[in-house]
Every structure is written in C-alpha cells, then in structure tokens.
C-alpha cells in the first residue's frame, strides 16, 4: 500500500477544510488535503453564501450597531439555550478577525446587509460561496505547502492502540488503497450526512420525506470514522430542514424566504400555521407537520419589490423568472391557481391584516418580520404572489462533540489525541435551531481554530519526529 507523509492531514475540501489548510500552511506546516469527490466545495459551495459577522466595517457604514455581546446573546437564544457556551464563545471571539482575514485574502462581500433568522440586527454578510472556496483553495496552492488529492475518500482513522493518538487515515484513491501518515494528526472537515438516508432516518425520522440537498460526499464518513473510535456526538435530536425550498425546483439548492420580508405561510387548507418570524429551521419543523409537508408563502407587490437580488434567499425576481412564483391580480385568482379555498385564503389574509393594524397576533404571536427586526406589513396591494414551500435538509447541523480547541471528545469526556474537527461534521454550536450565516461562518472560523490547535497540540512535536 502506498504511504504518504505530511505535517497535517485535512479531510474534506469545503470551506472548513481549505480554511484549515491555509491557516496551517501560512504557519509553515506542510498540509495534505483529501477530497472524496472530483470537485471542491461540498455543501459550502451550494449554500446561500451567508456568513454571520458582528462589528464589521460594512455594518458601520450602514449605521448598524452590533457587538460580540449581541451576537453571543442571539446565538444562545436561537439555539434554545442548548448549544455549548464554550463553542459559542470561540466563534464570537474569533469571528471578526476571520471576517477581516477573508477581506484581506480578497474575498468580496455584497455591500447590502440583511437581517435574517435569529438576528437582532442585520449581520448577513453575503458572498458567492463557490468563489469563496475557490479563493481559499487558490491561496492554499500559492503557499506551495498544500497538496490536494481529489477523488480520494478517507475510510478509517489510524492509531496504534486505543490510547495512542490518531496518526493518519486509510483512504481509497484513483490508484487504489493508500495510507496517509500525519505528524500533527487528522483534522476532520468532511461535512455532514444529509446524503445518507439511513443515518438521517436513524436520528430524524420526521424528516424521512423531506427534500435532501447537500454536497455529493456528505454521507457521514468523518462522523462514522470518529464514532468508531468512541467519539461523542451533540445535537443529533436537532436535525432540521430549512423552510422555503420549492418542492419541485431542481435548479436551485437554496430557499426563498419571503416570510422574512412580510409574507405569511399558509397550508393546503389556506390557514396560517406558524409564527413566520422564527428560525427557518423551526419553520421547517412546522411545515413538515402540514398536509403533504407543503405550504405557500403569500405576499403582495410591495413585499415582492423589497427582495434583494444580491441575497439568494431574497432574490424574488430570479424565482419569478424561473417560473417558481405564482402571480395573480387578486387573492381569489391566486387561490384558484394554487388550488386553495379562495374564501379561506381571503379571510386568512384579512385576519392577518387586522392583527398587523392592532399590533398583536393572537394566533401565533408574530411581532416582527424576522427575529426582533422589522415592522409587520399588511398584504393588500396587488398583484399577489405565492411561493410553494417545503423543508429541505441542506445540512445536518449536528455531529461530533468538540471542545473550544476543536479537539474531538469521546463518550467519556476525554479528547481523542490527534483528532480535531471543524465545519458541518461537528455538533454543539447550533443547539436547538440556527442563525442564518452561522454554519458557513462556523466552517471558516472553526477551520482556522482547528488548524491552530492541531499545530500546537500536546505531543505534536513528538509525532513530528
């Protein structure tokens, strides 16, 4: 079997993996990165391109007051007080530096900032996610210290005994089985398991009939390899789909969220069923309980015009061009097109408009457009629109238990020596729900932190020799 030596071994070619590789390579470490598929990017490249940062120059330019404390509070609240405070602190403490690092690499952020799920102020910093991964990969190549093996899937972690550190992996590459040995252990950035129907059903049977969207290689390889070594897991009960995915659209891998601009969500009977301002993960739970797991986002012309073509989840114009949004001059005509009871839809909208006027929603308690942001809007000015929406499992938002140094923790609460993890393969950061931008943000922030930790882990120098 072919054997290759390296300073640090990174598993996964998405945002977390390349951020980790670049961090280590910049510090003078030779890195080998394995990517299971023929293309880089994984779920990162397929995401909406949102990163959650606080205190940035873009926020200051728009007069948005944000802070570490507010970001921390929002993450704790949206996670339903069930995320690991140490991981939240790690993210909060390093997010602004990571934003500035990305800017320094030349990454372009959209100057338009939006408030979205779980955010008390606008902090959605938007990029082209595929371009971001390509940029990180190019910067890795430019160091001359990163070797990337494509179409090479890690299969087993290697250690000499149960108490010995992880020193590499057995993998399968284009030329057959191979072994990679690492002086500083293994950093798992292999993504989640939304493409593994058996694992999803095991942990979240309520989502067995959801739409699944994610990186081609996201079948849980990293999770299972660490699991075999006794790794603990976090947040497995919180696997959730994201609300706003069109049930039959095969062109787009992201949601459309008119509800965060003022739309309401109605089921097949024409009734509202949820507070539309909550996290779209919780909205995903709600829509999966509706008939046929489907709903419609109902909105009017002013809400349609408030969309933003620079933010994928708010690009209503593009969705209209693609024929995904239904449009009609009246609510009755709209109801006929989407086959809802016209009188019920008309009454639902009228009742909601009264709630807006009265400043109180007694049915579901909606107070704002999204989280604590935005005044509610009447739906009254034609033409009117409907966007069919279900829940899609874009990412699993759970996984390996890690500590604040990104060390993988076993079922007895002890770190597994030589094993770090970052990105979607880890759990504990999101808790019960999800803030927009925190997954892609976590990938880059935690990827860098994991590389730093691996470089300075106790025993790394000894392994290197």
Query: Is 447 within 8 Å of 425 (Cβ atoms)?
Result: no
pLDDT at 465: 36
- Residue 117's pLDDT is what? 85
Reported confidence tier of residue 375, pLDDT bands at 50, 70, 90: very high
The model's pTM: 0.86
Most confident of the ranges 47-51, 240-244, 252-256, 419-423: 419-423
Predicted pLDDT at 463? 44
105-124: pLDDT as tens digits: 999 999 889 888 889 999 99
Q: What pLDDT score does 348 carry? A: 98
Helices (H), 290-435: 301-305, 316-321, 331-338, 342-358
For the segment 212-233, the average pLDDT, to the nearest whole number, is 93
* pLDDT beyond 90 at 135: yes
Give the three-state DSSP class for 373. Answer: strand
pLDDT at 458: 56
Res 459 pLDDT > 60? no
Which residues, including other chains, have CB under 8 Å from residue 244's CB and lie 6 or more apart?
255, 256, 257, 259, 280, 283, 297, 313, 387, 389
Write the CATH number of the domain with boundaries 2-199+216-234+398-464: 3.50.50.60
In this prediction, what percent of the chain has a pLDDT beyond 90?
82
Q: How confident is the model at residue 206 (pLDDT cuts 50, 70, 90)?
A: confident
Give me the pLDDT at residue 255, please. Answer: 87
pLDDT surpasses 70 at 346:
yes
Mean pLDDT, the chain, whole residue set: 94
Q: Which CATH number fits domain 242-393: 1.20.58.220, 3.40.50.80, 3.90.700.10, 3.40.50.12500?
A: 3.90.700.10
Give pLDDT tens digits for 20-39. 999 999 999 999 999 999 99
Query: For 83-92, 133-142, 188-197, which range has the lowest pLDDT when averaged over its residues?
Result: 188-197
The string of pLDDT tens digits covering residues 147-164 is: 999 999 999 999 999 999
Q: Tell me: pLDDT of 323 over 50.
A: yes
What confidence category does residue 462 fall into, taking pLDDT thresholds of 50, 70 and 90?
A: very low
pLDDT number for residue 150 = 98
Q: Is the pLDDT of residue 358 over 90?
A: yes
Give just the sign of the alpha carbon dihedral 326, 327, 333, 335: positive
Q: What is the DSSP secondary-structure string of 240-277?
A: -PEEEE-SS--S-SS---GGGGT-EEE-TTS-B-S-TT
Domain boundaries, the chain: 2-199+216-234+398-464, 242-393
Asked whether 260 and 252 are in contact (CB, 8 A), the reply is no
- 181 pLDDT band, cuts 50/70/90, is very high
Residue 442 token pair: 């976590």
d(CA 419, CA 252): 35
pLDDT at 221 over 70: yes
Return the residue matching tokens 């709600």: 286
Can you give the pLDDT at residue 342? 97
pLDDT > 80? residue 374:
yes
- Report, as an integer, the average pLDDT of 45-53: 89
Residues 6+ apart with CB under 8 A from 309: 315, 317, 318
Residue 309's pLDDT band (cuts 50, 70, 90):
confident
Please tell me what DSSP assigns to residue 291: G
């Amino acid at each position: 079997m072919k054997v290759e030596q390296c300073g640090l071994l990174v598993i996964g070619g998405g945002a977390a993996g390349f951020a980790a590789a670049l961090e280590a390579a910049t510090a003078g470490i030779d890195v080998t990165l394995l990517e299971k598929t023929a293309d880089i990017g994984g779920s990162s490249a397929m995401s909406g391109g949102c990163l959650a940062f606080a205190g940035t120059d873009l926020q200051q330019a728009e007069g948005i007051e944000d802070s570490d404390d507010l970001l921390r509070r929002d993450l704790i609240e949206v996670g339903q007080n069930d995320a690991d405070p140490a991981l939240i602190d790690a993210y909060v403490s390093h997010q602004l530096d990571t934003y500035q690092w990305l800017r320094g690499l030349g990454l372009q952020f959209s100057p338009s900032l939006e408030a979205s799920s779980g955010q008390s102020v606008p902090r959605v910093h938007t990029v082209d996610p595929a371009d971001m991964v390509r940029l990180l990969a190019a910067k890795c190549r430019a160091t001359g210290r990163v070797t990337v093996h494509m179409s090479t899937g890690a299969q087993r972690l290697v250690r000499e005994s149960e108490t010995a550190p992880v020193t590499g992996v057995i993998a399968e590459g284009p030329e057959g089985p191979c072994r990679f040995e690492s002086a500083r252990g293994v950093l798992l950035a292999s993504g989640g398991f939304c493409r593994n129907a058996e694992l999803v059903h095991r942990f979240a049977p309520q989502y067995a009939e959801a739409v699944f969207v994610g990186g081609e290689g996201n079948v849980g390889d990293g999770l299972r390899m660490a699991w075999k070594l006794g790794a603990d897991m976090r947040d497995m009960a919180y696997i959730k789909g994201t609300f706003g995915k069109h049930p039959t659209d095969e062109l787009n891998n992201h949601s459309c969220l008119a509800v965060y601009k003022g739309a309401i969500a109605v089921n097949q009977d024409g009734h509202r069923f949820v507070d539309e301002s909550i996290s779209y993960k919780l909205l995903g739970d709600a829509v999966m309980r509706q008939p046929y797991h489907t709903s419609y986002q109902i909105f009017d012309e002013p809400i349609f015009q408030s969309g933003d073509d620079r933010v994928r989840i708010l690009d209503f114009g593009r969705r209209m061009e693609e024929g995904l949004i239904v449009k009609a001059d009246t609510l009755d005509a709209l109801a006929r097109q989407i086959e809802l009871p016209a009188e019920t839809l008309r009454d639902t909208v009228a009742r909601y408009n009264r709630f807006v006027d009265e400043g109180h929603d007694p049915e579901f308690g909606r107070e704002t457009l999204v989280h604590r942001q935005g005044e509610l809007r009447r739906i009254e000015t034609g033409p009117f629109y409907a966007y069919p929406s279900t829940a899609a499992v874009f990412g699993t938002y759970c996984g390996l238990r890690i500590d604040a140094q990104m060390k993988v923790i076993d079922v007895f609460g002890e770190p597994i020596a030589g094993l770090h993890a970052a990105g979607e393969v880890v759990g504990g950061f999101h808790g019960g729900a999800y803030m927009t931008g925190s997954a892609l943000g976590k990938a880059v922030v935690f990827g860098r932190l994991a590389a730093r930790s691996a470089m300075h882990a106790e025993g790394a120098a000894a392994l290197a020799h």
